[in-house]
Amino acid sequence: MSGAPDEFQLIADLFAPLARSYPGALNLTDDVALLAAELGFETAVTVDAMVAGVHFLPADPPDLVARKLVRVNLSDLAAKGARPFAVMLAAAFPRGTDMDWLRRFGDGLAADVGEFGIALIGGDTVSTPGPLTLSLTAFGRVGEGKALLRSGARAGDTIWVSGSIGDGALGLRAAQGQFSQLEASHAAFLAERYRLPRPRVALGPELIGLAHAGMDISDGLVQDLGHLCRASRLGAQVEAGRVPLSSAAQAALAEEHSLLATVLTGGDDYELLFTAPPLASPAILELGTRVGVAVTAIGSMVEGAGVTVLDAAGQAMALGRGGWRHFSATGMGTGA
């Protein structure tokens, strides 16, 4: 972190306490952080970028922006079975960002550093004439050779998801005030799910030894399952009726059934998608209960290629490509 008065000094003051628990952070006063080697473990590293107006709403509360940034990255680590221990932040703040905004952003970062037991071990802060642009590098610990890869699925594996699907994509619409007919508590639940993902950090590491493959759902269930299929050189068959929905999502679908496509292909779920042999199902259900995260079997990996989603009549649904495209997309999307 570069030193200078005013905003930079404030940032330094806000960030320094977040590094204290990790000696290799060198109190954020050096050019690098130092990660110790632990025999028998690998370090899983991921980076995700977020741009105001693209990945979050410019008016979103600053603390939630910081927390979302942390959480989308921790979700990637959790999906691999890695336990997060540190993050590094590169932030380009618009010129004239006010002190109160920065303070609230720092508060959000501090909240999640505390909640997830991680440390902020370094970063870079610069100014930009453009929108707020953030990137976070996150570090996790995973047993050597144990990480749950996209490529590990086997034909016959059961496909599982954590939590509920579609809340993020519906939540974006709710946050934009598009669900005027929906009960206020449902709309608020969905918007909260969009703004503050819940990375499944307790579940992911426990899946090692049970699951064959894993990833997190950030681009949309169908799209991400497609990625997993390609990496594993398999196909997938999913029953739409088994995809777990929150009460709020069910209420939204009751109003407008065509939203089912949004649920299945919309982004920002940050739930885990994993595959496991059918024999592991009882242990996985028991694990879900133990860590307090719903786990639901939604289909099977099959020989072949591509994702087929079957409707209640057993017919393949036409969902288009599904998932967000980031670069040329004009709407909101996630780069995770």
Please, what is the angle between helix 99-116 and helix 62-79, to 10°?
30
Q: At its nearest, how many Å lie between a copy of itself and the CB of residue 314? A: 29
Residue entry with tokens 């088994």? 242
Q: At its nearest, how many Å lie between a copy of itself and the CB of residue 54? A: 6
Pick one of 122, 199, 288, 322: the residue that binds a copy of itself (CB under 8 A): 122
Question: Coil, helix or strand for 175?
Answer: helix
Question: With CB under 8 A, what is the number of residues at the site for a copy of itself?
Answer: 83
How far, in Å, are 74, 103, 177, 271 from residue 51 at the CA level?
A: 18, 19, 21, 21
Q: At its nearest, how many Å lie between a copy of itself and the CB of residue 134? A: 9
For 100, what's the count of Cα atoms within 13 Å in the CB-facing half-sphere? 1
**Among residue numbers 130 through 189, which ones bind a copy of itself (CB under 8 A)?**
130-131, 133, 135, 137, 139-140, 142, 144, 147, 149-151
Checking phi first, is residue 142 left (phi over 0); if not, alpha (psi -120 to 50) or beta?
Answer: beta
Q: Which is nearer to a copy of itself, 130 or 241 (CB)?
A: 130
Stretch that binds a copy of itself, among 14-22, 128-136, 163-171, 186-194 (CB under 8 A): 128-136
Q: Is 14 among the residues that bind a copy of itself (CB under 8 A)?
A: no
Angstrom distance (rounded) from CA 209 to CA 207: 6
Contact string (CB under 8 A) for a copy of itself, positions 25-64, x = contact = -x--xxxxxxxxxxxxxxxxxxxxxxx-xxx---------
Q: Is 4 among the residues that bind a copy of itself (CB under 8 A)?
A: yes
Contact string (CB under 8 A) for a copy of itself, positions 188-217, x = contact = ---------------------------xx-
Contact string (CB under 8 A) for a copy of itself, positions 256-295, x = contact = ----------------------------------------
Angle (CA) 232-305-334 rounded to 5° is: 70
Q: Is 249 among the residues that bind a copy of itself (CB under 8 A)?
A: no
- What burial class does residue 327 get, using C-beta atoms within 10 Å of its C-beta: 0-12 exposed, 13-18 middle, 19+ buried? exposed
State the DSSP string of 37-84.
P-TTEEEEEEEEEEEBTTTB-TTS-HHHHHHHHHHHHHHHHHHTTPEE
